[in-house]
Structure 1
Amino acid sequence: MANVVIHNLEHQKIEKLDVPNELSSLFEYFWKVTWDVPDAKYKVQKILTEPKADIYIEQDSGIWKLSEIRRTIFEYKLAGQGAVFGIKLRPASQYMFLSGGDAVSLRHFPVVNFDSDFESIVVAINDYLFELSLSATREMRLVNQILDRLSGANRLNSVTEVLEEFDVESRQVQRLFQKHIGLSLKWIICRYRSLEAVMLSKEQDPDWRAIAYDLGYSDQSHFIRDFKENCGVTPNDYNRLYRESISPCVHVEARHS
């Protein structure tokens, strides 16, 4: 089993664990968030997430839910004590859990014992997830492969680059993305650009022109427009808020490594 990645943040702990190779066609990693916020206090975070869905279960409710890919900034409030256990889906995998068709019912997912340690919870659910992973289709694998090339080092930054590398037609790609993700390939590319831009915008004196060029933008105004649409503020304003450590500043979803 891979090492658990633990992020200790103020009043909360985030644990992550890679799924075994035999589950990787549908799932990416397991995660668990626990928090203990002092009485009469609460914590609000605004997060720009990757274009990936989650299946999660909250300690209080004990009911599995699907959190689809979020188009806007994800904002959540932490208060008191609590815990959530979840599974990060590979992008195209959310199609299996949406209503209609041959959707997988979340009611059949195993019960989670939050009193167990993180790795024990993962072991208890692995067998059930393995059965689901056998149903991954060729179309789902293709969409996930394309999404893999839109993130990380040497990523693709345009629809044209995707069509050339995967030798597919534009109409075919758009159909697959609408079917499995419900969003266009162009939107997905824009979101990954914005995720990278947020990280670069934390620098002391960002060179916005160079950042825009590196992200594949032909002009700086287009970069600024996309950034504001995704983050709610311009790159300059984001940088100022970050440098001043103002709480409403948007965070990027922690990358798993």
Structure 2
Amino acid sequence: MSSPTANTSSHSNGLLHSVMNSLVTPYWPFNILEIGYLTLGMALAGATYEWDWYLWGVGTAFIWIWSAASNNMDLAASKLTVDVDSRVQYVVGGLMFVLYAAVGVYLATLTSMLFLGLVVLAAFGSLAYNLEWFGGILHDREYKTGIGNLGFTAAWVPTFIGYFLVAQTVNLDLLGAALFAAGPMFVCSAIHYLESDLKELKYEDFGIEHERDVEPDFERLQRRAAVQPNLNIIGMCAMAVGLVIIFVI
């Protein structure tokens, strides 16, 4: 597990700034993206089962809280978001995870107690990624498990959760939904596989002040870009098989 190092340098802009930037992190567009994946899964299930706007609203809050909490754990790393006190980020992120668990339990009472398994799975995957547990094997791009865990937690989990919230049952359709959710997972993994060599541009785009050395490696970027088509092909084939299982078999 990575060791938290507080960003308390002269760059810090005070307590209120740290709290506000922890409640809504610079990575908020990714929070919306994961809500999009949730909605995609729910809409897919809505073609067979009954859509529920209330469940969508609670599910949206559930995903936002979880995603923002995870972002805080990531952004509080050493030399990152140096204008924010990382101790505040960890506290706010921790409290968000508590709220996430509470909303997850509530969703389980509305749907099925099996949903609690997805709550635990999502929390474990995101914490293992953002806190670099197990020596970074579920985080670093050098490991297939690292890039896979990113796509799994950021795309597969919210898509599958969305489907389950509407379906609320265990049958063959869930296998189809799991395969369908692999599509966004592989696409997400392919996009973020290049991130190591694009971090300076990413931090600039999201307005993140940092003190990291993010020297890109163009040869590595080329090698990883060449892998992207294969990942996209696998994802598209998984989606196709999933749709056949749901709507044909």
TM-score, length of structure 1 as denominator length: 0.30
Q: Kindly indicate which of the two structures has a greater share of residues assigned to helix.
A: 2
Larger strand fraction of residues: 1
Bigger RCO (CA 8 Å, 6+ sep) = 2
TM-score (norm 2): 0.30
